[in-house]
Amino acid sequence: MSTKQSRRAPKCCGIEVPNIDALNRSKLSRRLLSGVSDENYAVITRDSASTSCVTVKDGQIRLGDLGIVDPKALVARIFRFGDAPPSFELKKHPWICKDLEEGFVCINPWHSSITSEKPPPAYDDVMRGETFKNTPSISSRSTSVRSSIATICSIDDPNLTTWARVRYWEERTPIHRTYHITSSTVHVSDGPRTETGAEHLCLGVLHSTDAEASIDRTRAKIGRGVCLSKEDDGIWVYNLSDHPIFVHSCNDPFSVRRLAPKHCVNAFSTLADLTSRKQCPCSRAIPGPVDHRALRISFAKGWGPGYKRLDVTQCPCWLEVLLRRVEEARAPPLPPKS
């Protein structure tokens, strides 16, 4: 690789990751994984999350003309994230990559996602209404949706082991019952379980007797679906499907995030929740009921400004996730005032 090409190489996790053409992919991967067994090499090259971890010692290595590289970043670029943006950060799937030996990391690219972070709107913009002026009022939701939102108060019972309740909707119609989530991770898909170590909710067994064709078409795009993971810093959403999903959280109540396939996002940050509720009375700027502890995730179809669907209840297939209240005593401390 020439010096000029090296300077243009994208970065992942702060390490240069070269753009790799088809001719060099096999040769480079064999050099990088020279110490990996044939069995583990087959695991890495297989498009499947239901495979075992492949571990190597953590740290950077020198790889010939490429110089210093991060092996897990380079393996990810070669085998899974070839279309990733020039700069990206990887996050391992905690329901799979757990109990690893100290000093070792998993380099199986199918056990990671690209983090997608977007800061919430500035509080002064919120209070002036500049961000909210193009956002439809949630007070227009149907009675059934408002009733569902009202049930969130029952999750505050400290005797419950449930950290969230998940309900699947098709437009304004709730499908089946609300599911109580007790495992730290729940995998919601339209087919069989593919994520080991996670509680599984299969939407494929839930049927609406009079679903419209648009709903059926969207359901066909759910595929491997999403994972919801309760972690130390909040609730993470991982998009495992082949189509984008759209996520709304009261951490950022004035926008809906588009989450591409193979990406993840911290959809409900504990610290952001405490900060927004204590330092910004944003609920006074929002007409209608305000739900501080709910996520809404639409499969394949977005809503809000820029979309023909103004409200999530107009989306064909979506999830409502009601979160149990996190005791503030256990949450991270608020940052000092400047």
Rounded Cα distance between 273 and 251, Å, is 6
Residues 294-316, mean pLDDT to the nearest whole number? 93
Segment 307-325 mean pLDDT: 92
Report whether pLDDT(294) > 80. Answer: yes
Query: What average pLDDT does the segment 242-259 reach?
Result: 90
User: Measured in whole angstroms, how far is the alpha carbon of residue 58 from the centre of its chain?
Assistant: 25
- pLDDT recorded at residue 29: 61
Which of 1, 55, 48 lies closest to 33, judged by CA? Answer: 55
Residue 135 binned pLDDT confidence (cut-offs 50, 70, 90): very low
What domains, with CATH codes, occur in the chain? Answer: 3-115 (3.90.520.10), 123-330 (2.60.200.10)
- The structure tokens listed for 190 are 């339209």
Question: Are the CB atoms for 227 and 186 separated by under 8 Å?
Answer: yes
* pLDDT mean over 155-170: 75
Q: Please indicate whether residue 286 or residue 189 has the higher confidence score (pLDDT).
A: 189
CA distance to 67, 133, 209, 298, 310, per residue, from 304 (Å): 46, 12, 28, 12, 5
Annotate 183-241 with DSSP letters as a single string. Answer: SSEEEEESSS---TTSEEEEGGG---TT--HHHHHHHTTTTT-EEEEEETTEEEEEE-S
Using CA atoms, how far apart are residues 9 and 76, in angstroms rounded to an integer?
Answer: 15
pLDDT in tens, 229-247: 999 889 999 999 999 999 9
Inform me whether the pLDDT recorded for 302 exceeds 90. Answer: yes
Query: Does residue 65 carry a pLDDT above 90?
Result: no
Report which of residues 40 and 198 the model is more confident about: 198
Q: Which tokens hold the place of 219?
A: 């359901």
Cα end-to-end distance, the chain, whole Å: 48
CA distance 265 to 272: 14
Question: Is the pLDDT assigned to residue 273 strictly greater than 50?
Answer: yes
pLDDT band for position 258 (50/70/90)? very high
Q: CA-to-CA distance for 199 and 166, rounded, in angstroms?
A: 12
Report how far residue 109's alpha carbon sits from residue 44's, in angstroms, rounded to the nearest whole number. Answer: 7
Instruction: Find the range with the poorest average confidence among 42-46, 51-55, 125-129, 221-225.
Output: 125-129
pLDDT at 18 over 70: no
Q: Which residues are CB-neighbours of 35 under 8 A, at least 6 positions away?
A: 56
| CB-based contacts of 65-70 (< 8 A; 24+ apart in sequence) | 65/1, 66/1, 66/16, 66/18, 67/6, 67/16, 68/15, 69/15, 69/16, 69/17, 69/32, 70/12, 70/13, 70/14, 70/15, 70/17
Burial class (CB in 10 A: 0-12, 13-18, 19+), 238: buried
